Amino acid sequence: MSTYQLYGFAQSGHSYKVALMLELLGLDWQVVKVDFFKGETRSDEYRNNVNEMGEVPVLVENGEKMTQSGVILDYLADKYGQFGGETAAEKRDIWRWVLYDNHKISSQIGPLRFMVGIKKMDENDVTKYLRGRITDALGVMNKHLDGQDYFVANRPTIADFTLCSYLFFADEFGYDWADYPHVDRWLNNIKALKGWQHPYDLLPKLEA
Amino acid sequence: MSTYQLYGFAQSGHSYKVALMLELLGLDWQVVKVDFFKGETRSDEYRNNVNEMGEVPVLVENGEKMTQSGVILDYLADKYGQFGGETAAEKRDIWRWVLYDNHKISSQIGPLRFMVGIKKMDENDVTKYLRGRITDALGVMNKHLDGQDYFVANRPTIADFTLCSYLFFADEFGYDWADYPHVDRWLNNIKALKGWQHPYDLLPKLEA
């Protein structure tokens, strides 16, 4: 058995955050495929035995389960001494962006991408609402990256890995990085990291 | 000048999270009122000089600004040795709920409450979308609290303070805690803490 088992699937940007980190750290891990589209995360079985929050990813190490991608990334950064903050101020700066991602980026792009990219819905009031919030938040990201290669301390950290995840599916939810040149440059910096792979190459893709 | 200055306003559940913590710790603090409804957080002045993320709260200590309520709560818990985790596992458990709150609770209830409670909009497809997500997330919270007085380690922590904030405005966005009896009991536990005050008593209420 591998050192780490990761519950997830390829369409989940949240699973990708952790898969990317495991890969960039060169760790030994394997996937436990979760069939989100068949309702697996909503089942009592999953909520009672895997994750009460009904979410992926879940990382298992020596039989112990850890949930929430931000917690998992922070744990791995600390344990392996890579991609984390070197000072208390840097650690706070990283958490600041992990929270921004959970509040303003991933939690808004995830549902938009599900609606228009997976369920192929037409644009509607909900997708317009989500796009409004996402456009504002991407503007904040683009401005922050002006003159910087990465979000914190100008080197790759878990702040970048949490923020980038859903952006690699941009064609599926209709954004063009030409409108956000600093975001575009930063995504290319992440793609150039040794070990980087696209979510669809790292995790099993489910039939939607 | 007080030890801490807090940029915020009473309708902001995110500001309340920090105001409540400062009050429960018995610290010396004062408010810097931010007129969200007049667009202050969207101005260049605010984004360039106060918070590039265009958000409240911002906590100032000795002239240094700190943003994101989860980061501020964690900083204060560490500094004053209260309401934090005592072990690495407890700290991870707290962050897990802080992230859940940012992703699934506050980021969904905030906009719903703005639409129906402040702007007095009729129910529409966006409010229905938000209610669907909120109802699921409150179900997770209610189940977790079955047999527990607080979210982590059965004592009050910053996990509770982040999760409770918007719930004190429930009448404004149309939820009834009779449907979530464990959430109801837990909110009463928080109200019983020495120093607890309602957001409208702790922070200046803006004209919407």
Question: Do B23 and B74 lie in a common domain?
Answer: yes
Question: Do A47 and A92 lie in a common domain?
Answer: no
Rounded to whole angstroms, how far apart are CA atoms B73 and B140? 23
pLDDT in tens, A141-162: 999 999 999 999 999 999 999 9
User: What are the b/e assignments for A178-199, b being 16+ CB within 10 Å?
Assistant: eebebbbebbebbeeeeebeeb
Which residue's entry shows tokens 């966006």? B126
Is B120 buried (19+), middle (13-18) or exposed (0-12) by CB count in 10 A? exposed
Name the residue among A146, A156, A140, A151 with its Cα closest to residue A181: A146
pLDDT in tens, A76-94: 999 999 999 999 999 999 9
DSSP tag of A54? -
Rounded to whole angstroms, how far apart are CA atoms B15 and B197? 13
Q: Does residue B207 fall inside a structural domain?
A: no
CA torsion A36-A39-A44-A49 (nearest 10°) is -20
Question: Do A96 and A183 lie in a common domain?
Answer: yes
Scan residues 109-168 of B and list those with Cβ closer than 8 Å to A. 111, 124-126, 129, 133, 136, 140, 143-144
Cis omega (within 30 of 0) on the bond before B57? yes
Number of DSSP helices (H) and strands (E) in chain B, helices first: 10, 4
Half-sphere exposure of A67 (CA within 13 A, CB side): 17
Compute the nearest-CA separation of B68 from chain A (Å): 6
Is B76 buried (19+), middle (13-18) or exposed (0-12) by CB count in 10 A? buried
The total domain count for chain B is 2
Q: Does residue B135 fall inside a structural domain?
A: yes
The reported pLDDT for the residue numbered B208 is 84
pLDDT in tens, B167-185: 999 999 999 999 999 999 9
Range of the structural domain that residue A96 is part of: 88-191
pLDDT in tens, B57-110: 999 999 999 999 999 999 999 999 999 999 999 999 999 999 999 999 999 999
Q: Does residue B54 fall inside a structural domain?
A: yes
Which of B68, B129, B143 has the CB atom closest to A99's CB atom? B68
Reply yes or no on whether the pLDDT at A5 is more than 90: yes
Question: Do B101 and B168 lie in a common domain?
Answer: yes
Name the residue among B193, B191, B178 with its Cα closest to residue B142: B178
> Are A106 and A13 contacting, i.e. CB atoms less than 8 angstroms apart?
yes
Give the residues across from A31 on adjacent strands.
Answer: A6
Question: Do A59 and A96 lie in a common domain?
Answer: no
Whether the CB of B176 is below 8 Å from some CB of chain A: the reply is no
Which amino acid makes up residue B164?
C
pLDDT in tens, B33-47: 999 999 999 999 999
- Quote the mean pLDDT of chain B: 97
Compute the nearest-CA separation of A83 from chain B (Å): 18
Question: Do B135 and B165 lie in a common domain?
Answer: yes
Contacts of A124 in chain B (CB under 8 A): 125
CATH number at residue B59: 3.40.30.10
